[in-house]
Amino acid sequence: MVVKYYLIIYRVKNSFMKFSHALMHNNFTKSDMIAASKLFKGKNIVLTQSKQVKKFESKWSNWLGVKYTVFVNSGSSANLLTMAALKILYKNKNEIIVPSLTWVSDINSVIQNNFKPVFVDINPKNLCMSEEQIFKKVSSKTLAVFITHVQGFNGLSNKLIQFLRKKRILLIEDVCESHGATFNNKKLGTFGKVSNFSFYYAHHMSTIEGGAVCTNDKKIYELVRMLRSHGMARESGNKRFEKAIIKKYSKLSPKFIFLYPAYNFRNNEVSAAIGLNQLKSLNKNNEKRKKNFKYFLKNINKFKYRTDFDLKGSCNYAFPVILRTRNLRSRDNFEKILVKNRIEFRRGSAGGGNQLRQPYLKNFVKKINFNNFKEVDHIHFFGYYIGNYPSLNFLKIKKICKILNKIKL
């Protein structure tokens, strides 16, 4: 009965698709529903964080190539937990260098933990942070560089990694949009002190809603585990540490010792079961996305749209459609034609374009000179993306490119 119920939801959901080309399609499959429905069978059903969550954390760590993973309820929560952990562990520096093109929660997590965000422009070849601007904006107060690997592009270089090591500056990776992308034949998310992932519906793989904090640092891992669950000492996973805390606070109930003012960012067994099932197909799906992207770039008009991206190691969940024109009237016409052809799109990338133009920053960033952010501003006003997913075939891609190429720009 449970399986039938989920399949009904699946059919109804897909019957209301209003786009001929959506940002994502079929990223939640029948096999995912069947995997989730198995949890509802038998006696003593447990759906809150338990064995499936632990299993998913272990499998994800193995797939990525790190020691530790903490499964949480969103990529935004992963960002917030990471910054909260840094605030507790590192007291002497308060600046975090951040991208101007990213999802809003990256910047919010910095501000909410009383760090100062220092913004840099982007590299148009990969939409990630300009390393030359990073070098210029590092100061004695810089604790970390919080890099976003945008849309599946790699934002790292040997020069940047060596520079940060020499300066003893932490690298934090946001890999929410880049599952499976690589640098030097290693997966992104294995280079930083901490890396964050999202398993939102529209990303490379999904747990519907979900995220992860990944690290090789045992101290950070244990701290993030506690911060995920109300700051409780028993959530650290370190029995020796827990015993010492119980002894120190002997007048408190041993199971309810709260060490930090923290959160409830736990995920659940259903999401973990879906993640375990989706992980089986991730590598295969990523290979299809890579082929799709190369075919898209081959067929789109390079005189109207940018095609000169750095593809080495990339694994793109979207097709960037960046107009070469700076004419607003042409841009508005472009959008009208996409709407007419029912092609779903996002302007300014996923996070609302240039973050420095967003009102939430008005009390935190003063005197912005937008001449220093020309590349991200071009994406803000003239940059788009459309969906790239495994079920998309070359015929459909060619049809989309034909529509795009006919637009007068």
Instruction: Please give the average pLDDT of every successive group of 10 residues along the chain, which has 409 residues.
Output: 40 53 86 92 89 98 98 98 98 96 97 98 98 97 98 98 98 98 98 97 93 98 98 97 97 97 97 97 97 98 97 97 97 97 92 93 92 97 96 96 97
269 closest CA partner among 98, 74, 37, 60: 37
What is the per-residue pLDDT for 12? 37
Backbone phi and psi for residue 147, each to the nearest 5 degrees, phi listed first: -95, 140
In angstroms, the CA 348 to CA 385 distance is: 8
CB burial of residue 366 (10 Å; 0-12, 13-18, 19+): exposed
What is the per-residue pLDDT for 80? 98
What is the per-residue pLDDT for 351? 78
In angstroms, the CA 289 to CA 311 distance is: 12
What is the per-residue pLDDT for 352? 87
Amino acid, single-letter form, for residue 322: I
pLDDT digits (tens, 9 = 90+) for 337-369: 999 999 999 999 877 899 999 999 999 998 899
What is the per-residue pLDDT for 15? 39
Does an H or E element contain 6, and which? helix 2-15
Q: What is the CA radius of gyration of the chain?
A: 22
pLDDT digits (tens, 9 = 90+) for 147-165: 999 999 999 999 999 999 9
All structural domains of the chain: 51-279 (3.40.640.10), 282-406 (3.90.1150.10)
324 closest CA partner among 374, 400, 383, 380: 383
Between vectors from CA 110 to CA 105 and to CA 112, what angle results, nearest 5°? 85
Helix then strand then coil, % of the chain, to nearest 5 = 45, 15, 40
In angstroms, the CA 64 to CA 282 distance is: 11
Amino acid, single-letter form, for residue 407: I
In angstroms, the CA 244 to CA 248 distance is: 6
